[in-house]
Amino acid sequence: MSESVVFCQLSRKFVDENDATPAEAQQVMYYSLAIGHHLGVIDCLEESLVCPWAAYLAWIATLPAASQASRKMAGVPRYGEIVIDHSHVVMLAQAFDAARACQTPQQQQWSQALLAMLQAIQQEPAIYLMVRRRDD
């Protein structure tokens, strides 16, 4: 069995409008959406990048040691998953952009893919990434 790290990007959201929700509660649900709560909202995540486990560890080792970016990405081995949202974009983009100079061509491709995902988050803050360790 091999392990990998999977980057999944929010591709769309929809409201779970099951018939059991009374009409009066619909207004509460839509108000909750408007103020940012996820009551009755289902997030659809789409696989965007997959890295073999050992290669992921080598890739994040190219980040400056003890940096915020390194600590953030080390959350995958530590906790099994991390979430990357708009509050992480600048920090991670700067770190991965700077690290490309010392990366292998494969790592540079992953960095470029991640930078594109971060740019999407920058343009639409509702987008986020879920990064998980997976047994294949």
Which residue is it, tokens 């289902």? Answer: 42
Q: Give the Cα separation of 132 and 136 in Å (integer).
A: 12
The bridge status of strand 129-135 relative to strand 3-15 is antiparallel
Percent of the chain with pLDDT over 70: 75
- Token reading at 63: 């980040």
The structure's pTM equals 0.79
Phi/psi at 96 (5° precision): -70, -35
DSSP string, 12-63: EEEE---TTS-HHHHHHHHHHHHTT--TTEEEEEEEEEEEEHHHHHHHHTTS
DSSP string, 88-130: GHHHHHHHHHHHGGGS-HHHHHHHHHHHHHHHHHHH-TT--EE
**Predicted pLDDT at 125:** 84
Find, among 94, 88, 100, the residue nearest to 125 by Cα: 88
Q: Which residue has the higher pLDDT, 10 or 109?
A: 109
Q: What is the pLDDT of residues 50-95, one digit of tens each?
A: 999 999 999 999 999 899 999 999 999 999 999 999 999 999 999 9
**Predicted pLDDT at 111:** 98
What is the signed CA dihedral for 123, 38, 113, 68, rounded to 10 degrees?
90
